[in-house]
Amino acid sequence: METTIVFILFGSFLGLLLLGAPITVALGVSALISFLYLDENPIKFVQIAFTSVGSFPLMALPAFILAGALMEAAGISRRLVNVAESFAGPFTGGISAATVFACLFFGAISGSGPATTAAVGMLMIPAMIDRGYDKGIASAITASSGSLGIIIPPSIPMVIFGISALGLQPPPEAVEKFGIFQSVSIPKLFIAGVLPGLVISVSLLIMNYIVCKKKGYKGSADGFSARNILCTLYNGFWALLAPIVILGGIYSGFFTPTEAAIVAIFYTLIVGFFIYRELDWRSLARSLETTTWLTGRVLLILFTATVFGRLLVENQIPAIIAEAMLSATDNLYLIWAMLILFLLFVGMFMETLATILILTPVLLPITYSLGIDPVHFGVVMVCALGIGFQTPPLGENLFIASGISNVSIEEISLKALPFAAVNTIAVFIIAFFPQIVLWLPQAFGY
């Protein structure tokens, strides 16, 4: 029975994908076919799907999407980029290093990789081209740095992972063998992503320096301008305050991540309408339209992926995969390598949120059996899937950068490979040294 249902579930899913069906349709239809084969009442399908969107933490998803869209419309993202660019100075590859920092700043308020790439790329790709950068390299640096948007908190994929992991408690034998696991919570995932985000940023900056040194891209001939730095800091004060308000409120306990997203919206509306005065009713309507479209897309995936994942768990498929993996080797580092390479491969072909929803019920039980902290695994999973934003054929960041620079996807993909390679090394470092992820949550008493 278990073998048959695996073939039906995955066979119909892959078959529909090969026929060109959207991933939401493929997930939903394959799950429904399996329900009918198991002689389950189709009403159960609807009940599971409805329950999947009935959680309070999920309200943070549309709120953070709206906050990011409003911040771009209100001029907050542009001021963050200006601050980063003012620090570029005379360093080799200074303007492209500023792109990495700009993605770091904007990731702290958007939670989305494509949104970060679009917001920063619209300003920094033309700026790099004006400084003599090759269009393909400028696009590749921006597309690679855009993945920081899902690692630096707040992160939409971490919200989805936290929701997916809530119902997957470690088995008693794992708790007894490895001790008490840290519970999974969205604030804990957020704070755990800070140091890994910095590790990946450093890897990008190192590769950026190597590439720019080889190509001879110099920094600003004028050197540092203290006046320019002070001006951008002054003009960007309210923009720089945004991540402090959002993240400071979460970690100080003043509000939950969901409430923080609502605070971010009202903060942006006040700054955009009354301080910067760049937000108008037309741009507000566009932001709402963008939020509606993105949220609807994500919720449809969430509906169907939750049912798909429930079928996996109820039919012991994660346990079977875990047993097969553990029978191959009991070396933790080899298993980490297999998990990361698997996630890198899947991330090339599947959308990140759908991948998290599908694979969390499969892979999290494996990590429990190995004594891996679920927060550690969640951060590594998000970091590994983030590389998929800069690798073809899916590579959403590549498409956005290509649209901005009018350079072919093939050229950008080729020039983004060195950055994907150093990001992969950074993910292995984060996986092999768990304290990079767990030190901050422990320091804050989580």
What pLDDT, on a 0 to 100 scale, did the predictor assign at position 47?
Answer: 74
Task: Provide the b/e sequence for 31-64 (b: ≥16 CB within 10 Å).
Answer: bbbbbeeeeeeeeebeebbeebeeeebbbbbbbb
Which of 4-8, 82-86, 246-250, 287-291 is the most confident on average? 287-291
Torsion sign across C-alpha atoms 288, 290, 294, 300: positive
38 three-class SS: coil
What pLDDT, on a 0 to 100 scale, did the predictor assign at position 224?
Answer: 64
What is this structure's pTM?
A: 0.78
Q: Is 185 left (phi over 0), alpha (psi -120 to 50) or beta?
A: beta
Count of alpha carbons within 13 Å of 330, Cβ hemisphere only? 3
pLDDT(298) > 70:
no
Report the percentage of the chain scoring pLDDT > 90: 20
Give the lowest-confidence range in 4-8, 257-261, 366-370, 404-408: 257-261
What pLDDT, on a 0 to 100 scale, did the predictor assign at position 90?
Answer: 66
Q: Where are the beta strands (DSSP E) in 292-442?
A: none
**pLDDT mean over 314-329:** 70
Residue tagged 């990001």 (tokens) = 423
For 99, 260, 268, 295, 396, the CA distances from 289, given in Å and listed in that order, are 28, 21, 17, 10, 20
Q: Which residues have a Cβ under 8 Å from the Cβ of 218 and sit 6 or more positions away? A: 90, 92
Write the pLDDT tens digit of every residue in 389-408: 888 766 778 877 887 788 88
What pLDDT, on a 0 to 100 scale, did the predictor assign at position 84?
Answer: 72
1, two tokens = 């029975």
CA–CA separation, 400 and 235 (whole Å)? 28
Q: Which residues have a Cβ under 8 Å from the Cβ of 396 and sit 6 or more positions away? A: 113, 114, 117, 389
CA–CA separation, 342 and 385 (whole Å)? 10
For 186, 290, 308, the CA distances from 352, given in Å and listed in that order, are 17, 19, 16
pLDDT(182) > 70:
no
**pLDDT mean over 362-371:** 83
pLDDT bucket at 199, cuts 50 / 70 / 90: very high
pLDDT(329) > 60:
yes
Check: CB of residue 62 under 8 Å from CB of residue 257.
Answer: no
Give the lowest-confidence range in 73-82, 173-182, 272-281: 173-182
Write the pLDDT tens digit of every residue in 114-144: 778 877 787 788 878 887 889 999 999 999 9
Residue tagged 């855009």 (tokens) = 146
C-alpha angle 393-212-390 in degrees, rounded to nearest 5: 15
Q: Which residues have a Cβ under 8 Å from the Cβ of 336 and sit 6 or more positions away? A: 380, 428, 431, 432
pLDDT(2) > 80:
no
Q: What is the mean pLDDT of the chain?
A: 82
Helix (H) or strand (E) holding 46: helix 42-52
240, two tokens = 């720089």
What pLDDT, on a 0 to 100 scale, did the predictor assign at position 413?
Answer: 87
What pLDDT, on a 0 to 100 scale, did the predictor assign at position 222?
Answer: 55
**Amino acid in the structure at residue 406:** N
CA–CA separation, 218 and 283 (whole Å)? 37
pLDDT bucket at 270, cuts 50 / 70 / 90: very high
CA–CA separation, 317 and 313 (whole Å)? 6
Main-chain dihedrals φ then ψ at residue 343, nearest 5 degrees: -65, -40
What pLDDT, on a 0 to 100 scale, did the predictor assign at position 204?
Answer: 94
CA–CA separation, 108 and 84 (whole Å)? 14
Check: CB of residue 375 under 8 Å from CB of residue 192.
Answer: yes
CA–CA separation, 44 and 37 (whole Å)? 14
